[in-house]
Amino acid sequence: MSTPRKPQLVRCPEPLEPLFVAAEDAMAQFFGDLRRRPEKGEITISDVRYLLVRAASMSIQFRNELSSIYGLRTANQIIYNFGRACGVQDAKMFHKRLGLTDPATKLAAGPVHFAHVGWACVDIFPESAPSPDENYFLIYDHPFSFEANSYTEAEIKSDAPVCFMNAGNSAGWCEVSFGVELVAKEITCRAQGDDQCIFIMAPPKKMLGYTRQYLAKYGKA
Amino acid sequence: MSEKDMTSKITELLRSFQSSTPGVLGAGVISTDGFAIASELPQSVEERRVAAMAAAMLALGEQTTSEFEHGRLERVFVEGTDGYTVIMSAGAEAVLSVVARKDAKMGLVFLQMERTADALRKVMA
Protein backbone atom coordinates (compact mmCIF):
# COMPACT_ATOMS: atom_id res chain seq x y z
CA MET A 1 0.00 0.00 0.00
CA SER A 2 1.43 3.40 -0.92
CA THR A 3 1.82 6.14 1.69
CA PRO A 4 -0.62 9.02 1.16
CA ARG A 5 1.03 12.17 -0.20
CA LYS A 6 1.67 14.99 2.24
CA PRO A 7 1.01 18.62 1.32
CA GLN A 8 4.22 20.48 0.51
CA LEU A 9 3.15 24.09 1.08
CA VAL A 10 0.79 23.82 4.04
CA ARG A 11 1.08 22.12 7.41
CA CYS A 12 -2.27 21.02 8.80
CA PRO A 13 -3.94 18.36 10.95
CA GLU A 14 -3.63 14.94 9.26
CA PRO A 15 -7.32 14.49 8.40
CA LEU A 16 -7.17 17.69 6.32
CA GLU A 17 -4.06 16.69 4.36
CA PRO A 18 -5.84 15.15 1.31
CA LEU A 19 -7.76 18.42 0.83
CA PHE A 20 -4.54 20.40 0.74
CA VAL A 21 -2.80 17.95 -1.57
CA ALA A 22 -5.70 18.38 -4.04
CA ALA A 23 -5.57 22.16 -3.64
CA GLU A 24 -1.81 22.16 -4.26
CA ASP A 25 -2.28 20.19 -7.50
CA ALA A 26 -4.98 22.55 -8.76
CA MET A 27 -3.04 25.69 -7.84
CA ALA A 28 0.25 24.38 -9.27
CA GLN A 29 -1.47 24.07 -12.62
CA PHE A 30 -2.87 27.59 -12.40
CA PHE A 31 0.38 29.20 -11.26
CA GLY A 32 2.44 27.19 -13.77
CA ASP A 33 1.33 29.51 -16.56
CA LEU A 34 3.12 32.74 -15.61
CA ARG A 35 3.72 35.21 -18.43
CA ARG A 36 5.55 38.51 -18.20
CA ARG A 37 4.97 40.96 -21.03
CA PRO A 38 6.84 44.15 -20.06
CA GLU A 39 6.20 45.56 -23.55
CA LYS A 40 2.51 45.61 -22.57
CA GLY A 41 3.18 46.47 -18.92
CA GLU A 42 1.50 43.22 -17.96
CA ILE A 43 2.00 40.08 -15.90
CA THR A 44 -0.56 37.29 -16.23
CA ILE A 45 -1.02 33.92 -14.56
CA SER A 46 -3.33 31.62 -16.51
CA ASP A 47 -4.68 34.75 -18.23
CA VAL A 48 -5.45 36.52 -14.93
CA ARG A 49 -3.59 39.81 -14.56
CA TYR A 50 -1.37 40.14 -11.48
CA LEU A 51 0.80 42.91 -10.05
CA LEU A 52 4.26 42.69 -8.61
CA VAL A 53 4.78 45.06 -5.69
CA ARG A 54 7.86 45.26 -3.51
CA ALA A 55 6.97 43.63 -0.18
CA ALA A 56 8.57 46.32 1.98
CA SER A 57 6.65 49.05 0.13
CA MET A 58 3.38 47.27 0.83
CA SER A 59 4.16 46.72 4.48
CA ILE A 60 6.53 49.22 6.06
CA GLN A 61 6.17 52.24 3.78
CA PHE A 62 2.43 51.86 3.14
CA ARG A 63 1.76 51.47 6.86
CA ASN A 64 3.98 54.43 7.80
CA GLU A 65 2.32 56.65 5.20
CA LEU A 66 -1.20 55.74 6.32
CA SER A 67 -0.20 56.02 9.94
CA SER A 68 1.19 59.53 9.55
CA ILE A 69 -2.20 60.73 8.29
CA TYR A 70 -4.76 58.53 10.01
CA GLY A 71 -2.91 57.26 13.09
CA LEU A 72 -1.63 53.75 13.65
CA ARG A 73 -4.92 52.13 14.67
CA THR A 74 -6.79 53.40 11.65
CA ALA A 75 -3.83 52.56 9.40
CA ASN A 76 -3.92 48.98 10.66
CA GLN A 77 -7.67 48.83 10.06
CA ILE A 78 -7.27 50.11 6.49
CA ILE A 79 -4.51 47.56 5.82
CA TYR A 80 -6.63 44.77 7.35
CA ASN A 81 -9.61 45.72 5.19
CA PHE A 82 -7.47 45.95 2.06
CA GLY A 83 -6.22 42.41 2.77
CA ARG A 84 -9.77 41.24 3.45
CA ALA A 85 -11.02 42.69 0.16
CA CYS A 86 -8.25 40.81 -1.69
CA GLY A 87 -9.08 37.60 0.19
CA VAL A 88 -12.81 37.86 -0.54
CA GLN A 89 -12.37 38.56 -4.25
CA ASP A 90 -9.56 36.03 -4.79
CA ALA A 91 -11.58 33.33 -3.04
CA LYS A 92 -14.65 34.01 -5.20
CA MET A 93 -12.58 33.91 -8.37
CA PHE A 94 -10.72 30.69 -7.50
CA HIS A 95 -13.75 28.86 -6.15
CA LYS A 96 -15.55 29.54 -9.42
CA ARG A 97 -12.58 28.83 -11.64
CA LEU A 98 -11.66 25.56 -9.88
CA GLY A 99 -15.30 24.51 -9.47
CA LEU A 100 -15.03 24.22 -5.68
CA THR A 101 -18.29 23.84 -3.76
CA ASP A 102 -17.51 22.21 -0.40
CA PRO A 103 -16.50 24.70 2.38
CA ALA A 104 -13.45 22.71 3.51
CA THR A 105 -12.18 22.35 -0.07
CA LYS A 106 -12.76 26.05 -0.64
CA LEU A 107 -10.79 26.85 2.52
CA ALA A 108 -7.95 24.51 1.51
CA ALA A 109 -7.33 26.48 -1.68
CA GLY A 110 -6.66 29.64 0.39
CA PRO A 111 -3.35 28.79 2.10
CA VAL A 112 -2.03 27.25 -1.13
CA HIS A 113 -2.92 30.38 -3.07
CA PHE A 114 -1.34 32.43 -0.29
CA ALA A 115 1.95 30.56 -0.66
CA HIS A 116 1.98 30.91 -4.47
CA VAL A 117 1.38 34.67 -4.43
CA GLY A 118 4.22 35.16 -1.95
CA TRP A 119 2.30 36.44 1.06
CA ALA A 120 3.26 33.61 3.49
CA CYS A 121 3.04 29.90 4.13
CA VAL A 122 0.34 28.60 6.43
CA ASP A 123 0.50 26.11 9.30
CA ILE A 124 -2.93 25.24 10.68
CA PHE A 125 -2.81 24.13 14.33
CA PRO A 126 -4.60 20.96 15.45
CA GLU A 127 -6.91 22.80 17.87
CA SER A 128 -8.59 24.49 14.88
CA ALA A 129 -12.22 23.63 14.30
CA PRO A 130 -13.46 25.31 11.13
CA SER A 131 -17.23 24.86 10.75
CA PRO A 132 -19.85 26.83 8.82
CA ASP A 133 -21.45 28.29 11.94
CA GLU A 134 -20.82 30.47 15.00
CA ASN A 135 -18.44 27.85 16.43
CA TYR A 136 -15.88 28.39 13.67
CA PHE A 137 -12.39 28.67 15.13
CA LEU A 138 -9.02 28.61 13.43
CA ILE A 139 -5.56 29.06 14.91
CA TYR A 140 -2.62 29.17 12.55
CA ASP A 141 0.88 30.45 11.93
CA HIS A 142 2.02 32.37 8.84
CA PRO A 143 5.68 31.38 8.42
CA PHE A 144 7.55 33.81 6.14
CA SER A 145 4.76 36.44 6.37
CA PHE A 146 5.88 39.16 3.96
CA GLU A 147 4.83 41.81 6.47
CA ALA A 148 6.85 40.45 9.41
CA ASN A 149 9.76 39.59 7.10
CA SER A 150 9.91 43.15 5.78
CA TYR A 151 10.33 44.41 9.34
CA THR A 152 12.91 41.83 10.38
CA GLU A 153 14.92 42.28 7.17
CA ALA A 154 14.94 46.06 7.72
CA GLU A 155 15.89 45.40 11.37
CA ILE A 156 12.88 47.34 12.60
CA LYS A 157 11.42 45.97 15.80
CA SER A 158 7.75 46.71 16.23
CA ASP A 159 6.08 46.97 19.64
CA ALA A 160 2.92 45.34 18.28
CA PRO A 161 1.96 42.80 15.60
CA VAL A 162 2.21 44.10 12.02
CA CYS A 163 0.68 41.38 9.81
CA PHE A 164 -2.70 43.05 9.26
CA MET A 165 -2.84 42.37 5.52
CA ASN A 166 -2.16 38.68 6.21
CA ALA A 167 -4.92 38.63 8.87
CA GLY A 168 -7.47 40.38 6.66
CA ASN A 169 -6.73 38.24 3.62
CA SER A 170 -7.11 34.96 5.48
CA ALA A 171 -10.34 36.12 7.16
CA GLY A 172 -11.79 37.24 3.82
CA TRP A 173 -10.94 33.96 2.08
CA CYS A 174 -12.35 31.81 4.91
CA GLU A 175 -15.48 33.96 5.22
CA VAL A 176 -16.30 33.35 1.57
CA SER A 177 -15.45 29.64 1.92
CA PHE A 178 -17.70 29.01 4.91
CA GLY A 179 -20.42 31.64 4.39
CA VAL A 180 -20.10 32.99 7.94
CA GLU A 181 -18.74 36.36 8.99
CA LEU A 182 -15.19 35.92 10.29
CA VAL A 183 -12.43 38.13 11.61
CA ALA A 184 -8.78 37.36 12.28
CA LYS A 185 -6.31 38.78 14.77
CA GLU A 186 -2.59 38.29 15.13
CA ILE A 187 -1.58 37.21 18.63
CA THR A 188 2.21 36.90 18.28
CA CYS A 189 4.36 38.40 15.52
CA ARG A 190 7.97 37.93 14.44
CA ALA A 191 8.20 41.68 13.83
CA GLN A 192 7.90 42.20 17.58
CA GLY A 193 10.47 39.53 18.37
CA ASP A 194 8.21 36.48 18.73
CA ASP A 195 9.11 33.11 17.22
CA GLN A 196 5.98 32.85 15.08
CA CYS A 197 3.21 34.96 13.56
CA ILE A 198 0.21 33.26 15.17
CA PHE A 199 -3.35 34.25 14.25
CA ILE A 200 -6.77 33.31 15.52
CA MET A 201 -9.94 33.51 13.43
CA ALA A 202 -13.54 33.41 14.66
CA PRO A 203 -16.90 35.18 14.25
CA PRO A 204 -16.51 38.83 15.37
CA LYS A 205 -18.65 38.52 18.49
CA LYS A 206 -16.45 35.71 19.81
CA MET A 207 -13.16 37.40 19.04
CA LEU A 208 -12.76 39.35 22.28
CA GLY A 209 -13.00 36.18 24.38
CA TYR A 210 -10.60 34.24 22.14
CA THR A 211 -8.19 37.18 22.02
CA ARG A 212 -7.95 37.34 25.80
CA GLN A 213 -7.60 33.57 26.06
CA TYR A 214 -4.81 33.28 23.46
CA LEU A 215 -2.94 36.43 24.50
CA ALA A 216 -2.76 34.87 27.96
CA LYS A 217 -1.74 31.50 26.54
CA TYR A 218 1.16 33.04 24.59
CA GLY A 219 2.23 35.31 27.46
CA LYS A 220 1.00 38.54 25.86
CA ALA A 221 -1.78 39.48 28.29
CA MET B 1 -16.82 36.14 33.95
CA SER B 2 -17.24 33.79 30.97
CA GLU B 3 -17.26 35.15 27.43
CA LYS B 4 -20.95 34.28 27.08
CA ASP B 5 -21.84 36.03 30.34
CA MET B 6 -19.84 39.09 29.32
CA THR B 7 -21.57 39.31 25.92
CA SER B 8 -25.03 38.99 27.47
CA LYS B 9 -24.16 41.61 30.11
CA ILE B 10 -22.98 44.00 27.36
CA THR B 11 -26.18 43.39 25.37
CA GLU B 12 -28.23 44.02 28.52
CA LEU B 13 -26.40 47.34 29.07
CA LEU B 14 -27.07 48.39 25.48
CA ARG B 15 -30.78 47.54 25.75
CA SER B 16 -31.07 49.37 29.05
CA PHE B 17 -29.30 52.42 27.56
CA GLN B 18 -31.60 52.41 24.55
CA SER B 19 -34.81 52.03 26.55
CA SER B 20 -33.86 54.75 29.05
CA THR B 21 -32.75 57.32 26.48
CA PRO B 22 -35.49 58.76 24.25
CA GLY B 23 -34.57 59.28 20.60
CA VAL B 24 -31.86 56.60 20.48
CA LEU B 25 -32.25 54.37 17.43
CA GLY B 26 -29.46 51.94 18.16
CA ALA B 27 -26.16 51.33 19.88
CA GLY B 28 -23.18 49.06 19.47
CA VAL B 29 -20.03 48.03 21.29
CA ILE B 30 -17.05 47.52 19.02
CA SER B 31 -13.50 46.39 19.62
CA THR B 32 -10.80 48.97 18.95
CA ASP B 33 -9.81 46.74 15.97
CA GLY B 34 -13.22 47.51 14.43
CA PHE B 35 -14.98 44.19 15.15
CA ALA B 36 -18.54 44.19 16.52
CA ILE B 37 -18.74 42.81 20.09
CA ALA B 38 -22.48 43.38 20.64
CA SER B 39 -25.03 45.57 18.96
CA GLU B 40 -28.62 46.73 19.04
CA LEU B 41 -28.62 48.53 15.72
CA PRO B 42 -31.44 49.05 13.20
CA GLN B 43 -31.73 46.05 10.84
CA SER B 44 -30.99 48.17 7.78
CA VAL B 45 -27.45 48.79 9.08
CA GLU B 46 -24.63 46.51 7.94
CA GLU B 47 -22.93 45.73 11.24
CA ARG B 48 -19.48 44.85 9.90
CA ARG B 49 -19.02 48.12 8.03
CA VAL B 50 -20.52 50.30 10.74
CA ALA B 51 -18.31 48.67 13.38
CA ALA B 52 -15.19 49.32 11.31
CA MET B 53 -16.32 52.90 10.68
CA ALA B 54 -16.95 53.64 14.37
CA ALA B 55 -13.56 52.29 15.48
CA ALA B 56 -11.82 54.25 12.71
CA MET B 57 -13.69 57.46 13.58
CA LEU B 58 -12.78 57.19 17.25
CA ALA B 59 -9.13 56.55 16.38
CA LEU B 60 -9.15 59.48 13.95
CA GLY B 61 -10.76 61.66 16.61
CA GLU B 62 -8.00 60.72 19.05
CA GLN B 63 -5.36 61.40 16.40
CA THR B 64 -6.86 64.81 15.62
CA THR B 65 -7.24 65.74 19.31
CA SER B 66 -3.63 64.80 19.89
CA GLU B 67 -2.40 66.66 16.77
CA PHE B 68 -4.05 69.90 17.91
CA GLU B 69 -3.11 69.32 21.56
CA HIS B 70 -6.74 69.37 22.66
CA GLY B 71 -6.26 66.98 25.55
CA ARG B 72 -8.16 63.72 25.85
CA LEU B 73 -10.90 62.94 23.34
CA GLU B 74 -14.36 63.05 24.96
CA ARG B 75 -16.42 61.88 21.99
CA VAL B 76 -16.82 62.06 18.23
CA PHE B 77 -20.11 63.75 17.35
CA VAL B 78 -21.49 63.57 13.80
CA GLU B 79 -24.54 65.69 12.99
CA GLY B 80 -26.66 65.02 9.93
CA THR B 81 -29.84 66.81 8.84
CA ASP B 82 -31.93 63.89 10.11
CA GLY B 83 -29.93 62.48 13.03
CA TYR B 84 -26.77 62.06 15.04
CA THR B 85 -24.00 59.52 15.50
CA VAL B 86 -21.93 59.66 18.66
CA ILE B 87 -18.85 57.55 19.33
CA MET B 88 -16.83 57.35 22.52
CA SER B 89 -14.22 55.15 24.14
CA ALA B 90 -15.40 52.47 26.56
CA GLY B 91 -12.04 51.36 27.90
CA ALA B 92 -8.83 50.15 26.30
CA GLU B 93 -10.52 47.45 24.23
CA ALA B 94 -13.91 48.90 23.28
CA VAL B 95 -15.79 51.68 21.56
CA LEU B 96 -19.41 52.68 22.21
CA SER B 97 -21.33 53.90 19.18
CA VAL B 98 -24.83 55.40 19.30
CA VAL B 99 -27.26 56.46 16.58
CA ALA B 100 -29.95 59.00 17.56
CA ARG B 101 -32.85 60.82 15.94
CA LYS B 102 -32.69 64.55 15.31
CA ASP B 103 -35.17 65.24 18.13
CA ALA B 104 -33.12 63.35 20.77
CA LYS B 105 -32.01 65.39 23.78
CA MET B 106 -28.29 65.19 23.20
CA GLY B 107 -27.32 66.28 26.73
CA LEU B 108 -29.15 63.24 28.06
CA VAL B 109 -27.67 61.00 25.35
CA PHE B 110 -24.12 62.11 26.29
CA LEU B 111 -24.79 61.58 30.01
CA GLN B 112 -26.28 58.12 29.50
CA MET B 113 -23.45 57.21 27.14
CA GLU B 114 -20.88 58.12 29.79
CA ARG B 115 -22.70 55.98 32.36
CA THR B 116 -22.96 53.09 29.92
CA ALA B 117 -19.28 53.41 28.96
CA ASP B 118 -18.32 53.28 32.67
CA ALA B 119 -20.47 50.17 33.15
CA LEU B 120 -18.90 48.59 30.04
CA ARG B 121 -15.40 49.25 31.38
CA LYS B 122 -16.31 47.39 34.58
CA VAL B 123 -17.91 44.47 32.74
CA MET B 124 -14.93 44.12 30.43
CA ALA B 125 -12.25 44.62 33.10
Q: Give residue ranges of B with CB < 8 Å to any A CB.
A: 3, 6-7, 31-38, 48, 51-52, 55-56, 59-60, 62-63, 93, 124
For the stretch A174-204, pLDDT in tens is 999 999 999 999 999 999 999 999 999 999 9
CA-CA distance, B39 to B37, in Å (whole number)?
A: 7
pLDDT, tens digit, 9 for 90 and up, residues A138-188: 999 999 999 999 999 999 999 999 999 999 999 999 999 999 999 999 999
Task: Give the CA distances from residue A121 to residues A144, A148, A197, B40, in Å, rounded to whole numbers and listed in that order.
Answer: 6, 12, 11, 39
**What is the predicted pLDDT for the residue at B9?**
94
pLDDT at A44: 97
Is B52 close to A207, i.e. CB distance below 8 A? no
The pTM of the full predicted model, rounded to 2 decimals, is 0.92
Could you list the beta-strand ranges (E) of B6-93.
24-31, 36-40, 76-79, 83-89
pLDDT band at B81 (very low <50, low <70, confident <90, very high): very high
pLDDT at A39 over 70: yes
Is B7 in contact with A205 (Cβ distance < 8 A)? yes
The average confidence (pLDDT) of chain B is 94
Contact B62/A71, CB-based, under 8 Å?
yes
CA atoms within 13 A on the CB side of B51: 22
A-chain CB neighbours of B40 within 8 Å are: none
pLDDT at A1: 62
Across the range B6-33, mean pLDDT stands at 95
B1-13: pLDDT as tens digits: 777 888 899 999 9
Query: Chain-centre distance of CA A40, in angstroms?
Result: 30
Strand, coil or helix: what is A73?
Answer: helix
What pLDDT score was predicted for residue B42? 85
Give tens-digit pLDDT for A53-100. 999 999 999 999 999 999 999 999 999 999 999 999 999 999 999 999
Query: Who wins on pLDDT, B73 or B3?
Result: B73
Q: How many angstroms separate the CA of residue A13 from the nearest CA in chain B? A: 27
pLDDT of residue B123: 94
Residues of A in contact with B62 (CB under 8 A): 71, 73
CA–CA dist A131, A18 (Å, integer)? 18
Provide Rg for chain B, Cα atoms: 14
Nearest to A26 by CA among A96, A122, A130: A96
Q: Does A207 touch chain B (CB under 8 A)?
A: yes
Q: Are A103 and A179 in contact (CB under 8 A)?
A: yes
Residue of chain A with shortest Cα separation from B33: A77
- Enumerate the residues of chain B whose CB falls inside 8 A of the CB of residue A210: 3
Phi-psi label, residue A160: left if phi above 0, alpha if psi -120 to 50, beta otherwise: beta
**Pairwise CB contact (< 8 Å): A77 & B55:** yes
Q: How many Cβ atoms sit within 10 Å of the Cβ of residue A121? A: 16
Q: Does A196 touch chain B (CB under 8 A)?
A: no
How far apart, in whole angstroms, are the C-alpha atoms of residue B95 and residue B61?
Answer: 12
Average pLDDT score, chain A: 95
DSSP letter assigned to residue A60: I
